[in-house]
Each structure stands twice: as structure tokens, then as C-alpha cells.
Amino acid sequence: MEFTLEEMREHLAALEARIGEACKIAGRSRESVKLVWVSKFHPAEAVENAISLGATDFGENRVQEAELKFSAPRMAKDGSRVRCHVIGPVQSNKLKKAAIVADCIHSIASIEAVEKLERVCAALPGENGAGKILDILFQVNAGEEETKSGLDVHEAEAFLNDLAAKAGAASDGKSENFPHLRFRGLMTIGKNTGVAEDSRECFAFLRNLQQKFLAKGGAFAKFDQLSMGMTGDLEVAIEEGSTMIRVGTALFGERDYNR
């Protein structure tokens, strides 16, 4: 059963209390952590309820599901346009559709995907007919779990160095060879042990890597985002510097995978 609007309001209040407490402990402002509502496996009505509660950013794993719910532009309560984040791995043949529906893709993990996205975005109209500018994050398998996608933790730094070399001349986060892509940061999924503390090390690893590349400037001048933390481990992620937490269950309830 999907939550009613009232139930969702209560869950949001409880979640905001958790986020607020974690921000306090970490000495961070609430505004420094974006809440991405992960609506995968929940119906369009749940998205409408979330928007009425003030949601501005949604996360979807599958491109097709993202298209169903977010192809039509809609307004958030704060007057901004609702943003769609693709947070699951995207097959090469779905990158174009992902680039069309998404404002940000969190799960990029190969040079081939970066190159294809650049070509695809260059050919999209975008806001002024000169191509779409897309934010991307690189997923690192920092939890080092067999089943999870993303860059190998031992290869992530070499990957980013290679990317910097391939980007060519760059300044202010814009590069000669990938002018339609903005490299915004890193994403990871913590360890799935049921113990949030177990993810601290991989979140800290991600922060160190992100900070290192942000400091390089050039193509990485806007590399200021860390997408980490979910329902089970968001406090630890916030303490370790997360700027985007991706929360599904704590907002929408359990997912019905038979849907």
C-alpha cells in the first residue's frame, strides 16, 4: 500500500529530524544537503504527493520509469522546475534517453559513456538550441561489493586523471572536448551490511577523492557534489560530507518490486 499524503508528511517530518540532527552534529547547514526523493517503484501519484510536500529533486534507477514520470516538465512548490536524477546504471543504448529526461546522471563509470553523452547532449536542443548541458557524477564502487556497479575503487583516481587529459583545455568546469557535460562530483552506495557505521570509511574515501579533483580546477572546477547516503546510512554520509542524500524507503515506504 502506498502512503497517503498525511503518512508521507509524517515520514518527511521524521526524516527531516534525522537530517537536521546529523547536520547539527557535523556543524553543517541544512541547506548544504540536498534531499533527492527516490521514487523508483512508486506510482506517479506518490510523486505528486511528494511535490505537494515540497520535493524538488527525484531519483529513478531505470530510464524507462524516469521517462514515464518525469518527461513532462512540472513545477515544484518553490517555483523551480522539478529535477530528475538518474541514479541507476545506464546501458549504452539508453544513454540518449537518460540524457533527455535527466538533469543529472549519478552513475557514469566509463570514458565511453562520457564520450557518448557528449555527442548525445550536443545534438539535443537544450535551452537555447545549442545543445543540452548535463550534470554528471561518477559512481565509485567504494563499498567494494561484487554486485554493485561503478568504478573500481583502486581505479577511480586513474580514471579521473584520464578524463582530465581527454577533456583538453578547460576552465571553470567547462572543457574543450566535453562542452555539454559538467563533471559535478562522485556517487557511491554504502556497504549493505545493515550497520551504517560500516560505510563511513567508503564515504570518507569518496570525499577525499572528490576534494582532490575539485582542487585541480579546470574541468573539475565544479566538482563539488558528493551523492551518498540512503535511508539506512544518511547520518554517517552527512557527517562525511554528503551534499546529496538519495532517500526512498524513509519517504515512500517499502517498494513493491512486483509493480
Closest approach, Cβ 163 to ligand PLP, in A, equals 21
247 in contact with ligand PLP (CB under 6 A): yes
- Chain residue at closest Cβ approach to ligand PLP: 248
- Using the minimum distance from each CB to ligand PLP, give the nearer residue, 42 or 182: 42
Nearest to 231 by CA among 35, 21, 6, 30: 35
Residue choice 11, 40, 69, 191 for contact with ligand PLP (CB under 6 A)? 40
Distance from C-alpha of 88 to C-alpha of 106, rounded to nearest angstrom: 7
Applying the rule CB under 6 A, the residues between 180 and 209 that interact with ligand PLP are 189
User: How many residues make contact with ligand PLP (CB under 6 A)?
Assistant: 14
- Find all residues with CB under 8 Å of 58, minimum gap 6, and list them: 36, 37, 38, 39, 47, 50, 69, 70, 82, 83, 84, 85
Distance from C-alpha of 121 to C-alpha of 100, rounded to nearest angstrom: 8
DSSP code at position 173: T
Distance from C-alpha of 182 to C-alpha of 200, rounded to nearest angstrom: 27
Residue choice 8, 23, 38, 66 for contact with ligand PLP (CB under 6 A)? 38
- Using the minimum distance from each CB to ligand PLP, give the nearer residue, 61 or 141: 61
Closest approach, Cβ 165 to ligand PLP, in A, equals 29
Closest approach, Cβ 177 to ligand PLP, in A, equals 28
The residues with which 58 forms a beta bridge, in sequence order, are: 37, 84
Binding site for ligand PLP (CB under 6 A): 38, 40, 61, 87-88, 189, 230-232, 246-250
